[in-house]
A and B are shown apart, each in its own frame.
Chain A
Amino acid sequence: MSALRFVLRAAPDQRLDLSPLTADRLAGLDTAAIEALQLQTGRLRVTVGDVFRVHPGDAAHIVFEGGSDRFDRVGEAMRTGFLEVEGDAGQQAGRLMAGGTLTIRGNAGGWAASGLRGGRVEILGDAGGFLGGPLSGERTGMRGGIVLVRGKAGKRAADRLRRGLVVIEGDAGEHAGSGMVAGTLVVCGAAGSLPGILMRRGTIVLGRPAELAPSFVVSGVTPLVFSGLLARAVDPVSEIAAGCVRRALARYAGDMAVLGKGEVFVAV
């Protein structure tokens, strides 16, 4: 059975909440019921039928033909299935996902994969700030799953990461991996200032030298067994990132300003 397709009629004139359009929430709904779902985030009522032409198909595979940076909360809390956005997505794409695969073929806004619990989020373009990070008032960010950004990421990527793998093949903004609790972040390009600032535990791999906080301490250039293990784990996600892991041999421990059980590997 072919995919359930949502073809964008025109650029939306307000921000939209696309969280109702996931495999879990659309299962069993007919086209008319889907078209009647409300997506507005403001005062004016907007339904699916107002924004998209709906082509019936298997809800386990959803495709948005045409994207917009006003498409917020795409794939939020999805547990199964495949969801593709053939264009950009707005804020909080894939937030609280527990399973399935979300692919954004354009750019994603801030807080993409926020609080991810499982599944896989792939962003072929750039990601905004706080990739995988928590919203205000939340204690931790991602708790599992895999995030891959083929382009660049904004500031504080993997903020307060608790578990899971975040790979950024391009550059990362300032304070990547800030306050990490655990988990793994790989930045293949250049990282902005102070990566890993206030990280408690976890692993950051940097493809290029970066300005670390003075509260990180050198812990040698040692080929560790763990590097090979991590490279093999990362390889199915990104060959570029696996190459970075294999080259990243200089190890820094920190952040000693907090618990100090984290580590930053830098390619030498």
Chain B
Amino acid sequence: MPDVSHLVRNGVSIDDTFAEAFDMRGTALIITAPTLRWARIAAVSMTGFATSIIACGVEAGIDTELGPEATPDGRPGVRVLLFAGSTAELQKQLINRVGQCVLTSPGSACYAGLVGTDPLKLGDGMRYFADGWQISKRLPDRHVWRLPVMDGEFVVEGTTGLTKGAVGGGNLILMARSSEGALVAAEAAAEAIAGVPDAIAPFPGGIVRSGSKVGSKYKGMIASTNHLYCPTLRGAVPESVLGPDIASVLELVIDGLTADAVADAMRAGLEAIAAVGPERGACRVGAGNYGGKLGRHHFHLHALAPEGGP
């Protein structure tokens, strides 16, 4: 195990390392429905299979739930965030996912959730589903399309905003003495990150158990298991970063519309992990990076660690 200097908070050791993150393209949508339950169903459906751009095309998740006073049409809703490696891919995924998962969900409507530098087509790319019966309405504050559907109308805003300042790949790696402890700490961190605006943790429940590294010994594999953090390989891999007390490792990956949002989410996650403590949760926190050579955003854990003593 390499020598890493640590900061200790509430008994949890925080490595002197950093998460290395990358520029991404990001956007946001507001999905409304007659009830919050149906808004969530539409949002969960459209953000399904969107954990990693390695194979999903887009990373997506629910940012926050919105009360009727905070949505354009006065109904309950949710805000979802989507991130991709290119504008073209984000545009393609946006139309496909809204078209297949939101348009089809009972009572739904979909609006721009971000004022961006450039527009991404939303209703402008879906209006032809109405087969000529689409209605364009330019209201004082937005342009919407109204598509006749079997339960009434699907209202969808013409465009949403694109940001080229989004950041993907912020991360925290939790190391615990038991698999139960790792999960308790990871759940606490995921819940804290969910409360941070403009940031999501796109993996299942916000947590990754199969952290990956770039490349593989096999041709054609662009990512493979992060063997340095696998407890069962500790003896077989000389450069393993796990000490003898670590039994289980989980990771949280964070995407945000801004670098500040990612930093805030990592800060919230660290605070939650420290609050749980090493007995019930994780005893050590690290982060994944590539030596600082690949991503221009470096989030140093010690700079984000909560105030307090050992």
Contact = CB atoms under 8 A, between A and B. Distances in A.
B152 interface: yes
A interface majority secondary structure: mixed
A163 to B, nearest CB: 6
A124 interface: no
Contacts of A228: 73-75
B309 interface: no
Contacts of B73: 225, 228-229, 232
B109 A225 contact: yes
A259 to B, nearest CB: 11
Query: Which range contains the number of B residues in contact with the other chain?
Result: 20 to 34
B78 to A, nearest CB: 16
Contact of B153 (A184, A201, A226, A233): A226
Nearest to B153: A224
Interface string A182-212: 1010000000000000000101000000000
A222 interface: yes
Contacts of B133: 261
B139 interface: yes
B137 interface: yes
B155 A226 contact: yes
B178 interface: no
Q: Considering residues A163, A229, A237, which has the most beta carbons from chain B within 10 angstroms of its beta carbon?
A: A229
Contact of A229 (B107, B135, B139): B139
Q: How large is the interface on A (under 10, 10 to 19, 20 to 34, 35 or more residues)?
A: 20 to 34
A233 B72 CA distance: 9
A182 B155 contact: no
A233 B135 contact: no
Contacts of B135: 201, 261, 263
Given A232-B73, A232-B74, A225 B140 contact: no
Nearest to B107: A225
B138 A146 contact: no
Interface string B101-125: 0000001010000000000000000
A237 B75 CA distance: 21
A138 B27 CA distance: 42
A225 B156 CA distance: 10
Interface string B215-242: 0000000000000000000000000000
A233 B139 contact: yes
B87 interface: no
10 contacts: A146-B140, A184-B137, A222-B152, A224-B152, A225-B32, A225-B109, A228-B75, A229-B72, A237-B140, A261-B133
Interface in A199-247: 201, 203, 222, 224-226, 228-233, 236-237
